[in-house]
């Protein structure tokens, strides 16, 4: 029915990081976007280094004294499982992050983690890069999708072609992440790993590298349109 709020189209605005967005009437014109003098609009919203780069401090029993470590990737979703691990607690669900075993003292790690440490760190790195919103996979697919949305001059053919590949890559990512969680959480919280897990983890890491490569190629193809 005309005028029904449930049937009224909505628009989500994604601003340049130099600007503020504000709510207003249906036809707010230029007043919806502003650049106030002397205010730091760049630190609110959007995908930008200034916003997505944050710090995490960890201290307590089981935590290594590393000082400032700028080389370790820590996504927001990694904080909760790392805390649960250090506190020796268990969730009744599987969170989206991973335990940052790189900051845990070796004596506090389960045998399954110590014996497969290098492999699990590598798997954790790939996990972050394909599952985090601002990982390599997330940023490349976001850029490719932006190209698709801006391809109106090329018609729906270009848009559909790019979006269809994005759907396929997203499904592949979900399957790989599921396999990664089984290995990572099995070692960190389950107390052990199946005999075939290390071999499977190596294969999963290779699949992750292939997925990141596919996202790079998609972006390169989209950018050439």
Q: What is the pLDDT of residues 177-189, one digit of tens each?
A: 999 998 898 888 8
Cβ count near 82 (within 10 Å): 22
Asked whether the predicted pLDDT for residue 26 surpasses 70, the reply is no
Asked whether the predicted pLDDT for residue 165 surpasses 60, the reply is yes
Q: Which domain holds residue 182?
A: 55-223
Residues 27 and 88 in one domain: no
Kindly report the backbone phi and psi dihedral angles of residue 191, in degrees, each rounded to the nearest multiple of 5, phi listed first.
90, -5
Residue bearing the bigger pLDDT, 142 or 158? 142
Helix (H, G, I), strand (E, B) or coil at 20: strand
5 pLDDT band (50/70/90 cuts)? low
The first and second tokens of residue 104, run together, are: 């845990």
Asked whether the predicted pLDDT for residue 126 surpasses 90, the reply is yes
Predicted local confidence at residue 41, as pLDDT: 46
Asked whether the predicted pLDDT for residue 117 surpasses 60, the reply is yes
Buried/exposed 120-152: b ≥16 CB within 10 Å, e otherwise = beebbbbbbbbbbebbbbbbbbbbbbebbeebe
In a domain, residue 49? The reply is no
pTM for this model (two decimals): 0.75
Residue bearing the bigger pLDDT, 100 or 27? 100
Nearest Cα to Cα of residue 79 among 58, 60, 93, 104: 58
What residues have CB less than 8 Å from 12, skipping those under 6 apart? none
In a domain, residue 48? The reply is no
Residues 67 and 38 in one domain: no
């Amino acid at each position: 029915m005309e005028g029904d709020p449930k049937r009224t189209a909505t628009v989500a605005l994604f601003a340049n990081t130099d600007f503020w967005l504000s709510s207003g009437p249906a036809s707010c014109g230029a007043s919806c976007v502003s650049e106030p003098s002397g205010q730091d609009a760049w630190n609110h919203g959007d995908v930008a280094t200034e916003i997505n780069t944050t710090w995490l401090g960890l201290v307590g029993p089981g935590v290594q004294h590393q000082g400032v470590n700028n080389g370790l990737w820590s996504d927001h979703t990694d904080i909760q499982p790392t805390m649960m691990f250090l506190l020796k607690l268990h969730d009744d669900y599987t969170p989206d992050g991973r335990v940052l075993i790189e900051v845990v003292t070796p004596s506090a790690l389960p045998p399954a983690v110590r014996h497969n440490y290098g492999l699990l760190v590598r798997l954790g790195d790939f996990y972050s890069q394909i599952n985090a919103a601002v990982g390599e996979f997330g940023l490349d697919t976001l850029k490719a999708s932006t190209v698709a949305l801006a391809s109106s001059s090329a018609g729906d053919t270009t848009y559909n072609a790019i979006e269809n590949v994005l759907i396929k890559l997203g499904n592949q990512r979900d399957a790989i992440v599921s396999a990664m969680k089984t290995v990572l959480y099995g070692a960190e919280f389950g107390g052990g790993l199946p005999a075939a897990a290390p071999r499977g983890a190596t294969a999963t890491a290779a699949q992750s590298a292939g997925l990141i490569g596919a996202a790079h190629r998609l972006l390169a193809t989209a950018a050439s349109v």
